[in-house]
Amino acid sequence: MRLIFIRHAEPDYENDTLTAKGFREAEILSGRVSRWDVDRFYCSPLPRAALTAKPSLDKMGRSAVMCDWLKEFNYYVTDPTTGRVKVPWDFMPQYWTKEELFYDHRSWYRHPLFDENPEYEQAVYNMWEGLDGILAQYGYTRHEGYYLCDDEKVKDDDNTTVVFFAHLGANCEAMGYLLGISPLVLQQSTCLAPTSVSILNAEKRTPGAAMFRAQVIGSTSHLENAGEPLSRYAAFSDIHDL
């Protein structure tokens, strides 16, 4: 089974939409997505995600299930270094690298910093429940850090593809859960440019068990091939797809 996580196109946060460049990116992305054989689409209901998904869905004559748990993790806390109230990542390295709990993929959300916004912990649980509910329909049941699978149901499902249109923070939350990595670490150290594509495959190496492995994180080849520069809404340095 293949899970594909797509970040929305370049956002116009102030007007709750996409920039002109973002609409171009979404159209370019649709040329890539429309070549895939997709079983189901899921999408954050926030406009920047829904508008990114629209050209792909229209081109394929498909629709997406809107999921509140795919919304961006905008559960604001106070940055201990800058004093700014902001999303719960992109902390300064001199702070977050010293916080051992941030590295714990099972308990990072219990860090005292998040006591300031109790909605964050509930959003984490909602994400887990949402992902596991979908995977259970395909024969995968969460067990500790991996998945038990119905061997008959998952047989020959290597090309079964499910696509999620969401956000940088939310995609890192989802991938962290599936890969056994603290999403705080992914959010701090991974560049997911607008419309980037991340692919996780379920590997069934022994009967009855499966674990997800990242095939690619943050692919933007569709933009590079179309001559569209990458947006800097992803990193604090210049970024390129070389």
Please, what's the b/e burial string for 115-143 (b: 16 or more CB within 10 A of its CB; e: otherwise)?
eebeebeebbebbbebbbebbeebbbebe
pTM, whole model, 2 decimals? 0.97
pLDDT in tens, 158-179: 999 999 999 999 999 999 999 9
Read off the pLDDT of residues 57-116 as tens digits, 9 standing for 90 and up: 999 999 999 999 999 999 999 999 999 999 999 999 999 999 999 999 999 999 999 999
Kindly state the tokens that stand for 22: 């973002």
How many whole angstroms separate alpha carbon 144 and alpha carbon 130?
16
Show the CA angle centred on residue 60, arms to residues 56 and 126, nearest 5°.
60
Above 70 in pLDDT, residue 137?
yes
Domains of the chain, CATH where assigned: 2-225 (3.40.50.1240)
Q: What is the pLDDT of residue 163?
A: 98
Check residue 238 and give its pLDDT: 84
pLDDT at 236: 86
CA distance 178 to 24: 31
pLDDT of residue 242: 67
Give the residue-averaged pLDDT of 118-141: 98
